[in-house]
């Protein structure tokens, strides 16, 4: 497993990774607010600039094998990943973890 924020920008890694899971947030304001919460020194304009300098989420989502929508709380994300995403990854990789 790799945590590769610039996976698609590398233009090479995506060919060696499967499945590619993209965690996406559709609400730009929420994305900005979360960024500022992690980096308190950023202003709204700086956060927007940082977000706008990245590859658009729509492109990442289109290239992904699995998309996890992160529009809710941390608890909701954890439940979604535990109940849906991990089982889908294991199924895609044909791994049976019930043994």
At residue 71, the 3 state secondary structure works out as coil
**Cβ–Cβ < 8 Å for 68, 4:** no
Q: Identify the band that residue 5 occupies on the pLDDT scale cut at 50, 70 and 90.
A: confident
Residue 86 has pLDDT above 70, yes or no: yes
Distance in angstroms (rounded) separating the CA atoms of residues 47 and 36: 7
Helices (H) and strands (E) in the chain, counts: 5, 2
Q: Identify the band that residue 1 occupies on the pLDDT scale cut at 50, 70 and 90.
A: confident
> What is the share, in percent, of the chain residues with pLDDT greater than 90?
83
**Residues 6 or more apart in contact with residue 9 via CB below 8 angstroms:** 55
Residue 48 has pLDDT above 80, yes or no: yes
- How confident is the model at residue 98, as a pLDDT? 66
């Amino acid at each position: 497993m790799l945590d590769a924020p610039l996976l698609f920008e590398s233009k090479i890694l995506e060919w060696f990774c499967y499945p590619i899971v993209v965690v996406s947030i559709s609400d730009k304001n929420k994305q900005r607010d979360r960024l500022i919460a992690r980096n308190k020194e950023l202003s709204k304009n700086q956060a927007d600039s940082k977000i706008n300098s990245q590859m658009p989420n729509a492109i990442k989502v289109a290239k992904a094998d699995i998309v996890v929508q992160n529009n809710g709380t941390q608890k909701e994300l954890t439940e979604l990943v535990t109940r849906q995403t991990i089982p889908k990854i294991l199924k895609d990789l044909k791994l049976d973890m019930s043994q």
